[in-house]
Amino acid sequence: MNKKQITSPVKQVLIIAYLFPPTGGGGVQRTLKFVKYLPHFNWLPIVLTVREPFDYYFDPSLEKDIPSNVTVYRTLSIEPMKWIRKLLKQLSTFRGNHPAQQKSSFSPRSLKPRWLVWIKTMLFIPDNEIFWLPFAVFKGYQILRREKVEVIFSTASPFTDHLIALVLSSLTGIPWVADFRDFWVDRANFPNSKWRRFIDRKLEKWVLTKASHVITTTSLIANRLKEIYPHQHYSVITNGFDEEDFQMVNTHPPEGVFRITYTGIFNKEQNPAKIFQAFQNFINKTGATPEKIRLRLVGQLDNPGEFENLNFLKQLMIDDYVEIIPYLPHEEVLKEMSSATVLLLLIGEYPYNEGVMTGKIFEYLRAKRPILAVIPPKGVAAEVIRETNAGMVVDTSCINEITKGLLTLYELYLQGNLENQFNRIHIERYERKNLTAELSKIFEQLSENA
């Protein structure tokens, strides 16, 4: 816990977030940084979260960012997926899905049973976290009756957060801000079910018509929602980086090694197959040995119980060049970013991918390493890379372009010109404290008009 006391704010906001420290992962950072910096703008957060989430990432180091005068309420929840996910993880470990134990001949099959997919699709609506709703509503209503709360804030995914806020706002009449970090029904991994699409679109409409204000992380998400629900008030507040997180980071790329680093999650939507094929081409064209070129993957290579990406990597016989690092605490991930020769960014091929701007892009900017952005060339992420002169954009759908990008950056590296090619300008607009100031202004407007 950060014991530094911040000047007592005059207004309170209830923040509903299933994902909150000590849970780790990318989805936590946005909410955590809002909680950290809102007191600087005279807003004291009260956090409503879950006691034991099913998400298996655990990063207690993040709790130091929670101001000491912020109260965090943790409620019970029924978590059927928690035990299933633990089982899948144990099975995958048992079957040999550990980088240090892999053999090139090892080719495991998926451990995720079809019945699990069916249950998740048909019963867990809108998501796995729906069984938290009754506990959160009960505790949230107690908080709102006891405390003078001016605004309710919910963030999704999971979208159960919005349903909880909807009920609480309806019961109390308190203004409610709904934060969309991702698409809901239009997201890439939405279940392939007409039944689910019908139900979730109804829930989405309920949320979008009842919220007092809607925030999105990109303009494309806002524009898409505005097409469907034109009478709502929308604002765009991007993700960002926290300057304080980088003050203790003092790592540099290794000498004599061209290290390409990816941090985050790979899965069926964020599919690395074309990157792996391009990397194979890159190795063949350069003729470099594993001592000179490394592809470092930090985070998750496959979803628990699945092995598609691991198998393909081995099929291409590039595993001697690849280092697979399991999930790391956030502060260690920042060190990994700063010690890369080139940072690899991926936005997969799926509907509305031009509107996706992953949270790590901004920490990549602050890490001050050249970025190879394998992304939609006309998307919002590409705009950020070009406007800040932070790296090279190559089409996520084209293996040849990815290969050429790798070769170009490698040539600059050999010439000693890689560092001078990209100067990362105007990145201060994405500092978390500045972004929180924008959020506080929305809170002020709603509280004044209530």
312, containing H or E segment: helix 308-315
CA distances from 269 to 160, 189, 262, 266, 392 (A): 22, 7, 16, 8, 22
Residue 90's pLDDT is what?
66
Using alpha carbons, list the distances in angstroms from residue 26 to 99, 212, 360. Answer: 22, 26, 8
**pLDDT tens figures, 403-449:** 999 999 999 999 999 988 998 899 999 999 999 999 999 999 999 88
Question: Which of 106 and 325 is assigned the larger pLDDT?
Answer: 325
For 74, 326, 390, the CA distances from 21, given in Å and listed in that order, are 11, 19, 30
The DSSP line for 126-152 is: S-GGGGGHHHHHHHHHHHHHHS-EEEE
What distance in Å separates the CA atoms of residue 287 and residue 413, rounded to the nearest whole number?
Answer: 16
Question: 171-207, pLDDT tens digit by residue?
Answer: 999 999 999 999 998 887 777 788 888 999 999 999 9
Of the two residues 86 and 168, the one the predictor is more confident about is 168
State the Cα angle at 66 between 62 and 67, rounded to 5°.
Answer: 150
Dump pLDDT digits (tens) for 45-71. Answer: 999 999 988 766 788 999 999 999 999
- Contact criterion met (CB below 8 Å) for 41 and 435: no
For residue 109, what are the CA distances in angstroms to 96, 106, 175? 11, 10, 49
Question: pLDDT at position 349, please?
Answer: 87
pLDDT at 105: 36
Least confidently predicted of 90-99, 127-136, 338-347, 412-421:
90-99
- Among 192, 174, 343, 155, smallest CA distance to 264 is for 343
**Span 67-123, pLDDT tens digits:** 999 999 999 988 777 676 666 666 655 554 444 444 333 344 445 556 666 666 667
Please give the Cα distance from 432 to 439 (Å, whole number).
Answer: 11
Nearest 5°: the CA angle 369, 370, 375 is: 125
Mean pLDDT value across residues 148-161: 96
pLDDT of residue 232: 92
- Amino acid 80: pLDDT: 76
Domains in the chain: ranges and CATH: 11-79+118-240+432-449 (3.40.50.2000), 243-429 (3.40.50.2000)
Q: Give the rounded percent of residues in the chain with a pLDDT score beyond 90.
A: 66
Q: Which of 259, 275, 264, 220 is nearest to 362 (CA)?
A: 264
Tell me if residue 426 falls in helix, strand or coil. Answer: coil
Q: What is the pLDDT of residues 267-306, one digit of tens each?
A: 777 899 999 999 999 999 999 999 999 999 999 888 776 7
Length of the chain: 450
For residue 300, the cross-strand partners are 265
